[in-house]
Chain A
């Protein structure tokens, strides 16, 4: 085996190790995850029920409920990705394992991709369950929905989300106490400009301009079109997501490495609580 192939094999085993570790932890905390799932369902219901309170035709009410459901599910999906990628660093600090992880000969890119890969996998499963449970509960009809296109677009958007997640995952290294919470601030900021429960066109012009660089804008627009109108994958939604991913992933890695260097200079890797 050549040196390059051996290194690649070793890196992929390391990436698999991150996914494997998260599977172990998900199994151990299954009941907690179940409780969190119930909370997410309840939270989503509070949003989707708004459609029932609007006095419009049944068809329009159904369309509005579907649109709100897509927004709430993408909010939850993004929340899971940010939570996993950001909390993984925070969790490792809390458990005290972070020093062992950071002194291991695994590239930071593989480390972060491992966290992102599991987050996307887990997020897609939970988002799918959430979507169908709430749709069934409210009684939403989606006869034209193109689930495959919606799922594919969410998978494509995941690369951008992981890149942005990498940027926020460094926060617990810089601020061990409050860094993880800042990840949720980022999530909220991104969704508010992306039209999570409303069209982007209702926002002020300057917010509409910002929405163009948010991957959630294209994920929300494309997924709504696929679920409500049965549209296929639109290149107009795909190419911005690919470009944002190409920029966000290297940028996320660079920011994380910068943060790691800061943490190593100031002794922030050390467990503090």
Chain B
């Protein structure tokens, strides 16, 4: 099996002696229409309430949380798509809100929605994404087939429109898009939500391989507790914008004296864990 490590010419460099991710007291809130209070009234909806954590280079951390817990907001803040209301976020020492260009070179993301130009093919979509990272046609001509083969995408479907591909296939292309730019920090925001069991396993296996073969730090946001347990070194619980814990799974179970993460969630919050749909549904409502 070939390696997913990209050619040296396009690999981004990140210092070894700094934390991969350093988040301190990170806060974010959105305003939502409040019709009960008046036609133009808005009320504040806190999405993150002073979240702090760090990640070492090469580490895989899973953040668990229900819909609306703030997982996607965290990912968007770290990928420079949102501006915080307070606190700090550093990616390999770079301020995520002031040194955005440096951060953007180090980070890529796979979200729950495999967003592509539906009429364009997998190769064309990857080519478009790669250009933004300075990869010219000579590089993508060889790299795109290689990375698509690596994620198990059939060679004979590379030129097919994305709209004709299954959800699982699209998510593989999304993974390929993220890896094509050789990120040193990979943000996975519910990458397996909505996939059939087989595709889900394939994507999870691929994430494991990426960890082993690729010099990447992974932040995985999910509401799948088994996925978190099988992929991550440490597991955190984000609940209503607060990070309740972030430690190895065994330590979590020991701390609460429970056998499963689901029981740990109940012990930590006093509520049942209901993993339904995507957090984006909740965010959409908040943004409305």
A binding-site residues for B, Cβ under 8 Å: 6, 9-10, 13-14, 16-18, 20-21, 24-25, 28-29, 95-97, 99-107, 261, 264-272
Residues of A within 8 A of B258 (CB): none
Number of B residues near A (Cβ < 8 Å) is 42
State the CA gap A267–B130 with chains docked (Å). 25
State the CA gap A10–B118 with chains docked (Å). 26
Given contacts A105-B104, A270-B287, contact A13 B115 (CB under 8 A): no
Query: Which A residue's beta carbon lies closest to that of B120?
Result: A24
Within the complex, the shortest CB–CB distance from B258 to chain A, in Å, comes to 35
Within the complex, the shortest CB–CB distance from B171 to chain A, in Å, comes to 13
Query: Across chains A and B, which 3 residue pairs bring their CB atoms closest together, nearest first?
Result: A17-B131, A96-B115, A10-B134
B30 at the interface (CB under 8 A from A): yes
Residues of B within 8 A of A261 (CB): 83
B150 at the interface (CB under 8 A from A): no
Residues of A within 8 A of B83 (CB): 261, 264-265
State the CA gap A194–B162 with chains docked (Å). 43
Binds A, one of B33-41, B192-200, B229-237, B278-286: B278-286
Within the complex, the shortest CB–CB distance from B22 to chain A, in Å, comes to 19
Residues of A within 8 A of B116 (CB): 95-97
Query: Which A residue's beta carbon lies closest to that of B82?
Result: A264
**Pick from A13, A28, A264, A271: contact of B134, CB under 8 Å:** A13
State the CA gap A209–B287 with chains docked (Å). 42
Binds A, one of B63-71, B121-129, B261-269: B121-129
**Pick from B73, B134, B283: contact of A9, CB under 8 Å:** B134
Within the complex, the shortest CB–CB distance from B219 to chain A, in Å, comes to 14
Q: A21 and B284: CB pair below 8 A?
A: no
Residues of A within 8 A of B79 (CB): 99, 103
B31 at the interface (CB under 8 A from A): yes
State the CA gap A250–B135 with chains docked (Å). 27
**Pick from B80, B117, B131: contact of A103, CB under 8 Å:** B80
Q: B134 and A14: CB pair below 8 A?
A: yes
Chain B 165-188: CB-based contact to A (< 8 A → 1; otherwise 0): 000000000000100000000000
Q: B129 and A100: CB pair below 8 A?
A: yes
Within the complex, the shortest CB–CB distance from B245 to chain A, in Å, comes to 27
Within the complex, the shortest CB–CB distance from B94 to chain A, in Å, comes to 12
B212 at the interface (CB under 8 A from A): no
Chain A to chain B contacts (Cβ below 8 Å), 24 pairs: A9-B134, A10-B133, A14-B134, A16-B131, A17-B127, A17-B131, A21-B117, A24-B124, A25-B117, A28-B161, A99-B76, A99-B81, A102-B80, A102-B81, A103-B107, A104-B104, A105-B105, A106-B132, A264-B81, A265-B83, A269-B81, A270-B76, A270-B284, A271-B115
Residues of B within 8 A of A268 (CB): 287
Give chain A's interface secondary structure class.
Answer: helix
State the CA gap A103–B286 with chains docked (Å). 22
Within the complex, the shortest CB–CB distance from A6 to chain B, in Å, comes to 8
Residues of A within 8 A of B120 (CB): 21, 24-25, 28
State the CA gap A152–B115 with chains docked (Å). 39
Q: B287 and A267: CB pair below 8 A?
A: yes
State the CA gap A29–B120 with chains docked (Å). 10
B111 at the interface (CB under 8 A from A): yes
**Pick from A17, A270, A272: contact of B132, CB under 8 Å:** A17
Q: A97 and B134: CB pair below 8 A?
A: no
Within the complex, the shortest CB–CB distance from A147 to chain B, in Å, comes to 34
Q: A24-B124, A99-B115 are in contact. List 18 more A-B contacts (CB 8 A).
A: A10-B134, A13-B136, A14-B131, A17-B127, A17-B132, A24-B120, A24-B128, A96-B116, A103-B108, A105-B132, A105-B134, A264-B82, A265-B82, A266-B30, A267-B30, A268-B287, A270-B76, A271-B113
Within the complex, the shortest CB–CB distance from A206 to chain B, in Å, comes to 33
Residues of A within 8 A of B128 (CB): 17, 20-21, 24
Q: B101 and A105: CB pair below 8 A?
A: yes
B146 at the interface (CB under 8 A from A): no
State the CA gap A29–B161 with chains docked (Å). 12
